[in-house]
Structure 1
């Protein structure tokens, strides 16, 4: 223990005794669960018991002597993935692979990432908690804060290394009361003196908060920005006539909440995606909620239905930016509700353009494809509706009604897993055709599969697709081929269709 911290501990020893350790509260699952992929096992192994992946209701359970790294929210019977998914791989290798995923993956790939991140499986050999923390970090990077919290609660964050991320994420989700109650029950898990000060003050224990603050500041245990924030938090009168707070470049969740508490809220659009979750709370304005939901929907961290609910909550307050998107979605939703073909044909292209501008084509397809199928639209609108349908869950059914053009027939072939190579005209189409013409994994992944490193092989293949550009034929072939070889046919078809149809991936 450092001398300053030893003095600090001595000063506080006379304070109230810590409450007896109690377990953290049960998981309160997402109202809008993250959409997940539906992987299948390779031939010869037991098939999954369910045709699609659903997020189950979960609760905290004692794990005995089990390592926290293997916990998950999706059991093997749901995902179809074996318990040995990660066991044969190097922990360091897997963590490096997870750190390499993009901030905004191809939607089909991000769905696969969620399945892998949330799967219950034996952990690789290594330090307790390290692999779990890496998974939680990736979930947070994608904005999937509630599943990350649930994963940590499933493990039981009873040590500082796991409690710290749980505390931070719970602050972002609006659960500061729960976070502080847990910290006050188990102060030995505190992620820092600032957290203890904040939580003591929130509980109305101003004397303890002030003592901890004054001692911490005197001993240099607080950074200058955090010290000033806490001073303003504990002494609101200091803000009158004071120098305005400079916004920090990389605030912690606690700094973010302290800025909010002292009346200097920080905008979330320039902060990591996990901070956008804070703008979904009831205290946020409609515009902030809309922009946060769009940002989170791009990574599957907000469901399409929740996004639609926000879009249709009320009439747009102005024009331009998000208000134009609100108006476009409301116009299409109203036209469909009234079965007005003329209005649908006019509203569909405008709404589609609006969603393309913010890379929300797949959530849009999930919301409107099935509704569009009920109408006999004019040819131009019908062609657009057909392509939108290929980005939805019902892509195979949609593909049974292809147009007569070359591109439409090729896309229909991809949707059925048999793209006609003779119709391929460019590098991307030829790569997709080649990938579906083989049943073997990419050479780079075969050794991994032979060694039982299934999860690593899937993750490497997904990473290649994630990083592939339109002209990167080799990466596309190898990524799709490996996914198909291990039974992830649905993920491969969705990925191929999205590579072909999403302009921002070209």
Structure 2
């Protein structure tokens, strides 16, 4: 059985993990990403001042939106950057005083160390924590330390557009935030806008590789070439940098020569230049954020599909993206991703036809392929409702029930469906909100039912909740459930209990249904 749950989100920590520092007194940043491009020469530490955020600005919805077209300013006595968010409390379901009396460094450590393999519902909850508009921690001093940690974690989860929008909401970026915005722009196809913004903001002091790249992008090849020669003569760039930059400026001149070895780690700027010289680096072994670079037309269809699968599995892009790519054209071959494409296309055509017999014939194979790729919840989001409108029986009927229970329409499904087995009875009771009235089918079901019968959070989570540190308690609850997925069923009870005690009832139900239906047990 599979031991990881999804990645809303895959991106990054295999090649570029976030690392918490030992203590705030060290003076270093609370988080760090080793694959960020050195786009500015003297990036400030996370602890230095940043402009106050502009909170009345609408969030961006397009990639690259972290780079404002015009510079915005705000009053010096404005709210703390650490309180900036994209989701209001009435939408997120989280209180405005989410962090309570929690301290910045302790909150940051929990965010940074949180693993990236949550169940889909928990991944969405964690993303909401990162994006929520809440009060800054009590010790926030306007430096935006927690804001940067949140942005870095979003990058680590592959949520590039969300990170871009959060940077935009914070107002004019500091050099540290611009470094992140620059790389987001590179990976989402907005590099020209990033270069323009850098040119208009002299205080950002672009590094030589970034300056040369932007000069070339603007068509100023002569100045770019001169900058390379001068920088090499003054030992301001390494021999490897000089080789790659020179080849980037004139690939034809180096035709037949060995391609410069890729650096470790690869930065988005490196990746862009290798792609430009016709030697694109595969993104599969890179942090998940790089998958964004292959979503656009500059990548082949297979690469686009595989990148979209990684990001959809991570929950950071909407399911409609993979729907569009899966159905874009006929599969070019068989095996692997092509078999998933073929099965998906056959089912999508069947569901569009409204022919129940065709749906019954194609659903089992499509569902098996979605299970193989751990894309069951996105599939359910796309097709949960139309499947409930068809009279399906047998294997297709059983699958349709589970798809419906994983969809946003689970409660409606529970009201309309009559159980055929004890397991179905438990699942339907769970979707309706009271599984404690039905006999659980197994040990996992008993652990879930206990949380609904008599919520009992872990000692750590309860202490945090009682100490007015609700946000940290929620993170602990998510971690407890993750421990339960690996076999410690007490963690399931404790984690679901805490979610229910803090009012996240719908999240607790969706998580419990995913625990029961998805193959995510250790």
Deviation at 1:171, TM superposition (A): 0.7
The match for 1:110 is 123
Aligned: 1:349 with 2:381: no
Look up the SS of the partner of 1:468 in the other structure. helix
Kindly report the root-mean-square deviation, in angstroms, between the aligned alpha carbons of the 2 structures. Answer: 2.3
What's the CA shift string for 1:290-335, capped at 9, x where partnerless? 1111110001112112211111111111111111111111111111
**Count of matched residue pairs:** 457
Look up the SS of the partner of 2:435 in the other structure. coil
The match for 1:362 is 377
Structure 1 stretch displaced more, 59-68 or 296-305: 59-68
Look up the SS of the partner of 1:399 in the other structure. helix
Alignment check: 8 A CA contact 2:436 2:450 kept? no
Tell me the distance in 1 between the aligned counterparts of 2:183 and 2:205: 11
- How do 1:225-304 and structure 2 match up within 5 A? 225-304=240-319
What's the CA shift string for 1:232-285, capped at 9, x where partnerless? 123434422311233344210100111111221111111111111111112222
Deviation at 1:411, TM superposition (A): 1.1
Q: 1:107 to 1:456 in 2, by over 3 A?
A: same
- How do 1:447-466 and structure 2 match up within 5 A? 447-466=463-482
The match for 1:183 is 198
Deviation at 1:404, TM superposition (A): 2.6
Q: Please list every run of 5 or more consecutive structure 2 residues that lacks an aligned counterpart in the other structure.
A: 1-40, 42-53, 64-69
Deviation at 1:413, TM superposition (A): 1.7
1:145 to 149, 152, 160: 160
The match for 1:431 is 447
Structure 1 stretch displaced more, 155-164 or 61-70: 61-70
Deviation at 1:448, TM superposition (A): 1.8
Q: Please list every run of 5 or more consecutive structure 1 residues that lacks an aligned counterpart in the other structure.
A: 1-8, 10-22, 32-58
Tell me the distance in 2 between the aligned counterparts of 1:163 and 1:207: 27
Tell me the distance in 1 between the aligned counterparts of 2:203 and 2:521: 47
Alignment check: 8 A CA contact 1:143 1:273 kept? yes
1:378 to 389, 393, 414: 393
The match for 2:87 is 74
1:217 to 232, 239, 249: 232
Tell me the distance in 2 between the aligned counterparts of 1:381 and 1:341: 10
Deviation at 1:28, TM superposition (A): 4.0
1:131 to 146, 150, 157: 146
Tell me the distance in 2 between the aligned counterparts of 1:334 and 1:303: 20
Alignment check: 8 A CA contact 1:362 1:392 kept? yes
Look up the SS of the partner of 1:156 in the other structure. coil
Deviation at 1:469, TM superposition (A): 2.2
2:509 to 487, 493, 503: 493
TM-score computed with the length of structure 1 as normaliser: 0.85
